[in-house]
């Protein structure tokens, strides 16, 4: 699954750094954003293959950002992996329309496996 772009929306610089290192080492092109107000513009510019979306991303928040993306005719099929430390992450991800979710803190293997599963899903 080389040459795939992962776009991460998170305001936590530590999460961005760790995820960037892990996913870059796995062979992905990783891009990051600390805000979500311009999600459509960023996705249009970068055309990611998978998006990791934090629930507490500043400006419009993860739920609204994911909903905007999923309603977009061009970008609605891009898999979104919702990430949050909230206990009810399953419900948050479902309400947002995300394709998968990871509870923070997550295991490196779980991150890699979830990204790979979402990329495989888009290849079908």
61-71 and 89-96 helices, crossing angle to 10°:
30
Phi, psi of 107 (to 5 degrees): -80, 145
Residue 109 class from Cβ within 10 Å (0-12 exposed, 13-18 middle, 19+ buried)?
exposed
pTM value is 0.95
45: enclosing H helix or E strand: helix 39-46
Domain count, the chain: 1
Q: What pLDDT, in 10s, does the model give residues 11-42?
A: 999 999 999 999 999 999 999 999 988 999 99
Q: What pLDDT, in 10s, does the model give residues 62-116?
A: 999 999 999 999 999 999 999 999 999 999 999 999 999 999 999 999 999 999 9
CATH number at residue 109: 3.40.50.2300
Q: Provide the domain limits for residue 52.
A: 5-123
């Amino acid at each position: 699954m080389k040459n795939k772009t992962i776009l991460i929306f998170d305001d936590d610089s530590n999460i961005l750094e760790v995820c960037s290192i892990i996913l870059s080492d796995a062979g992905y092109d990783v891009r990051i954003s600390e805000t979500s107000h311009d999600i459509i513009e960023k996705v249009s510019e970068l055309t990611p293959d998978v998006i990791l979306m934090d629930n507490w991303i500043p400006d419009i928040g993860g739920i609204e950002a994911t909903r905007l993306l999923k309603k977009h005719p061009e970008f609605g099929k891009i898999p979104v992996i919702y990430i949050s430390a909230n206990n009810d992450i399953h419900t948050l991800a479902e309400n947002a329309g995300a394709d998968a979710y990871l509870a923070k803190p997550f295991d490196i293997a779980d991150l890699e496996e979830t990204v790979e599963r979402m990329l495989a899903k888009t290849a079908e």
